[in-house]
Every structure is written in structure tokens, then in C-alpha cells.
Amino acid sequence: MITKLLIANRGEIAIRVMRTARAMGLQTVAVYSEADACAFHVRQADQAYEIGPAPARESYLNIQAILKAAKETGADAVHPGYGFLSENAEFAEACIQAGLIFVGPPAAAIRAMGLKDRAKILMRDAGVAVVPGYLGEDQSAVRLADEAAKIGYPVLIKAVAGGGGKGMRYVERAQDFDAALEGARREAKAAFGDARVLVEKFVSQPRHIEVQVFADKYGDCIHLFERDCSLQRRHQKVIEESLAPGMPESMRDAMGRAAIKAAKAVGYVGAGTVEFIADASDGLRSDRFWFMEMNTRLQVEHPVTEGVTGLDLVEWQLRVANGEHLPRSQKDVRAVGHAIEARLYAEDPDRGFLPSTGQLEYLRFPESGNGIRIDSAVQEGDYVTTYYDPMIAKLIAVAPTRSEAITKLTLALRGTQIAGVSTNAAFLIRCLSQPEFRDGTIDTAFIERFRGKLLSVERVPSPEIYAAAARFVVEEAKAAASTLNKADPWSICDSFRIGGHARESVVFVHDGEQVEVSVLYREGYLPEYIVDGSVVKCPPDVAVTRLASGQIAIMQAGATFKVGLFDPFVAAELHASTTDVMLAPMPGKVISVSVNPGDNVPRGSPLATIEAMKMEHTLVAPADVRIAGVDVVPGDQVNEGVIIVRFAHCDDDVE
């Protein structure tokens, strides 16, 4: 029986597991890297144990360090969470050999489903339909290209090991195959230690629909309905919901039965997710879905299943790991209402979803309850680092109907206020507000298809935003003045003036543009804020704070605007600076450099590739340029803003 549970993970999933474990009367043990010494999950556990330096391979992926932590803290069970070692068969075996209960499936099931090519062969043999593709052992570039031609373009190249969009490339034309293959292999090797890939047919209007399954040690297996995870960016899920919109009951039944068949084929035990791809070009049909892969762990999006079933999936995991039968049979599980989840990331959607790092200088979430759930493991003042996934929180809404759930989630995102890092909150709101999303017309290409409406939206502060910033600056000055000698008349901030109403100006700078706000004081009235000659009101739903940089951050409806107070000396320096360089857009490791000094490079050509937060980001030429110099080499660790490549003017000499 489990009495003390070690959670071999970090972040919000560690907090999530602790919450249920505590409710079941279990003690909890957190593990942490040096970078996470002050993390929220560490503070929440009954015990905490340091397992190594910040890089995941030296801490959260260090099997021996985690086993040592379990032994020295007296833990008798290990919950792997998701990510890291959660789908590592060697880790599952090592836990069992160390006398620990592993809260997950048998190592054999993890192995069977861990390699996409073998899993698809296994599923095909078990009678589960799979997407047409090449799953062979010959990994030569020539053979893979030949097979892609036989399948017919477009195709997907996918890493045999792992998931989450890493090691995956979409290839539309034969001439792009070799470059895509090289990138997929490199990324797969870095993420999973395995460069092998498979090639499969790309479905033109794919819906990503997965089924939650649960099995016990006695051969019983049921499904807990499906989740639609079609809204994705870079093959990673952004918004998930249950039930899948527009799915007929006949398809729901067929997909549930197929998922159970898949789980039983590998002797599965515990919580798992069977992922399918459905062709939505002619609506959802029971004969138009195929097995993609099985995730042998709890999923990030499990709260939406909990939302419609009313079940605690972590509790089920712990009970099954304790040797109990499944708490319910298939006929006793019901889905009621609709649940939808949004993943709130520290990233900039308008810059290719580049991760954003830094301190959460201001952080406010809406209140939980009344159908709103917030799963997070960060607090104001915490840091988002380059070492781990940049997720800040998951916001989940549950309501009787899909429309009501979407509205609730939208309001929750609008009430989320964050400064210090960029986030995707406003982007998520735009996704939820898109008419095609609200009527359920979605597929995995949704974001790309509507990128003009969802991305690169002009982010110029409105006059009301400037008014709010001016009010903050004025009130900040008042507060500072109140601490001075109150007998000094020159330190009093009020509306008294000799010969007329008081007026002052606050000048802000945003993207190099100056905006002046006049603040007019009339005795007996609230201050008036004047922008471009018009009186504007400060919006009621904004939050304003001053950042460590000295900038003013104004947060409204999921968006955060940053403006500076005008300083003529700083403006002069900026005017004199050069823009003839390519800078690192985020901290990371230089993987490759594609140019040399003297090269003439056309617009859009790759310059260098940087790896950050387990993903590769390729920097491309902003125009037709000549390379004056390259300041980095592969292997360099760079910070944001470091010069990567220097450009030359056409008539410049390049040494």
C-alpha cells in the first residue's frame, strides 16, 4: 500500500498529484533541481529532495538520483507525472527493482507503445486502423524519400520515439524532403536520444481526437470518452476540450472500442491515452479515423475529462497502482456538459511562438470556482527559465454547453494579468472568439489557416491604455511625495494652482514613438486624461505596474503593453544604434550556422538555428543581405539579444 508518494516531476503536474495524494491521506515528496530550489511544488510537499543541476538530463532525467531520493526519504511509490521519465520503460523497471510502486503501466506496455513504428505495426495486427505510411527499418535518406514519393505528398516525418511535435516535419514537396529529414533527425536525437523517423500520409483536414483509457491489473479496461486536441501550434496542443464537437455517437462508440482494443493489445494498466487522427473533410465519421500513437501516462489535458465525468484521474491512478479494481465499470461512467482547457504559455505568438523567459513581476489569475479551474505552479516573483517547458498555467472551464464553456474560459483569460514575460493569453482569446472555432469547424491547420486574424495583430496601445499609464505615474508620484516632509508646500501633489486649473504632461515612448498625455486637474473633479486633444477614460479592467526595467506595464484583456517614460538622452542613443544585425530572440544553444562572411543571402534563407526549451528555432534573413560576419559557432550558449550574424551594405567590403 502506498503511504508516501514521491512525484518525479515539477511544475503544475507535481502540484496536481500532491493535491489528490494529500486528500487520500498520503505523504508527498518533491524532487527538484538547483534551478527549482524555491519552486512552488517544493514548498507544497511534505518533504523535498535536491536531485541535481538545472539541466533536465542531470536532474529530472537522472534515474539514479530519483531512486536515491526515494530511498533516503522513505517513499514507497513514485508518480512520474508527464514528460521527463513518464514514458521511460527503464525508469519503470528501475522503480520496481528498487521495491517501489510505479504509478503507471508495466514497462512492457511502455516499450510496446514507445516507438511509433512498432506501435503502429502492433495496432495493425490487433485490428486497429492505422494511417498509411512507411514503418521500415531502412533509415537511409534515399529509402525514406522513395517511400514518401510512394505515399504521395504531402507527408509527415515523425520521430519514432517521443512526441509533443519534437522531431516532426511537414513536407509538401519532394525537393524539401532532405532538408526536413535532416532537421527532424537532429531534433529527435536531441530530444529523445533516437534519430529514427517514420513517414506517413498527411491527412488534409485532420482532427486530433484522443480517448482516455483506464485499465486495472485484473484485465478490466474502460474508456472515459474523448478529447479534441485539434487546435495546435507547431504540432503542440493549445486548446483541448471534451467532448469532441460534432462527433456522432456511432463514432464515439467506435473510437472508444478501438482505444480499449489498443490498450488490451499491450496488457495496459493504469491511465493512458490513445490518440487518433480523424479526416474531417466530410464531417466526422466512424470509418474515417486512424490510430496515431498511445501516450502511456497521464496527459496535460486530463482536467477536461475530469470536468465532464466528475472523476479524479489521479485518484484512479493511485488506486489501480495499489492493486484495486477500477472504481467504475463502463456502464457507470457518464459524460455531462462540456469542458475546455487553454494552455497559458510564456511565449510570443507574433514571433513564431518563441519562448519568453524572465521574472513574473506581476501575476493575477481569476478566482477558481463556479466552473473555473486554474492549474498552476507559479507565483508572482517566480522565474520562467530556459531549462523547462514555458507553461505558466492551465485554465479550465466547465459548463452545461460548449458555448457557455467557451464564454467562461474567455472571461477567465481576459481576467488573467501577467507582466514580466510575454504570454499567449490574447492569442488564446482570439482563437476562442473566432466564429469557426465557436461553431466547431476546427482541424489541426486552424491556426495556420486563420493566422492573419490570430497572429501579427497590431499591438499599439489605445488612448485608454495611455490614460491608465498616466494615472499610474501620477499616483506613483503622489505616493512618493506623501512620504516627504508634509510641511513642505512644494512636495504636496494636489490640484491647487494660482490663476487656473492645474495641468501636467506625461510623455511615453512605445516602439520609438512618443505619446503625450495631459492630466488636467479641476477642483472638485477627478483628473481628466487628454490624448491627442480628446478626453479619454481609464478602463476599469486594467492593471498597471512598474517593471524592474523602469517601464510601465499595462494589462488588459489578456494583452500586456509596455511603455517607457520619455528620456531624451536614451532616445538619442537609440537613434544612433545600428540595426544591421541578427540578434538571438531568446536564450538558447546554437545548433548550426548556415552562412559565412561574404555570402550573399536571399530573403528568408536560414542563417542559424538555436535550440531553446527543447525546440529548434531557425533564424532567417530579413531581406536580401550580404553577410559581414558571424559572431557564434555551433555549441555556443547565447543570451537573448546577443549578436548572431552581422549584415553588410551592398558596397561594404567584407573581410
**Which residue is catalytic, options 185, 227, 297, 471?**
297
- Chain centroid offset of residue 334 CA: 30
Contact 222, 333 (CB under 8 A): yes
Cell 485518484, residue located: 315
Angle (nearest 5°) at CA 544 between 538 and 546 = 140
Task: Name 287's Cβ contacts closer than 8 Å, sequence gap at least 6.
Answer: none
Q: What is the 3-state secondary structure (H, E, C) of 250-279?
A: HHHHHHHHHHHHHHHHCCCCEEEEEEEEEE
Q: Identify any residues that bridge with 625 across adjacent strands, giving them in sequence order.
A: 601
Long-range contacts of 94-102 (CB under 8 A, 24+ apart): 94/63, 94/67, 95/67, 95/70, 98/67, 98/70, 98/71, 100/67, 100/70, 100/75, 100/76, 101/2, 101/76, 101/77, 101/321, 101/322, 102/77, 102/78, 102/321
The 10 Å Cβ neighbour count of residue 543 is 17
Residue 297 known to be catalytic: yes
Q: What is the DSSP string of 2-26?
A: -SEEEE---HHHHHHHHHHHHHTT-
- Chain centroid offset of residue 324 CA: 34
Distance CA 423, CA 390 (A): 10
> Is residue 138 classed as helix, strand or coil in its secondary structure?
coil
Q: Which three cell numbers stand for residue 345?
A: 504559455
> Is residue 131 classed as helix, strand or coil in its secondary structure?
coil
β 383-384/358-359 pair status: antiparallel
Distance CA 524, CA 496 (A): 11
Distance CA 559, CA 146 (A): 47
Which of 383, 547, 359, 391 has the alpha carbon at shortest distance from 38? 383
Contact 60, 33 (CB under 8 A): yes
Distance CA 101, CA 560 (A): 45
Contact 21, 28 (CB under 8 A): yes
Helix residue ranges, H only, 45-88: 63-73
- Chain centroid offset of residue 493 CA: 45
Q: What is the DSSP string of 160-216?
A: SB--TTTT-EEE-SGGGHHHHHHHHHHHHHHHHS---EEEEEPPSSEEEEEEEEEE-
Contact 124, 47 (CB under 8 A): no
Q: Catalytic residue numbers?
A: 297
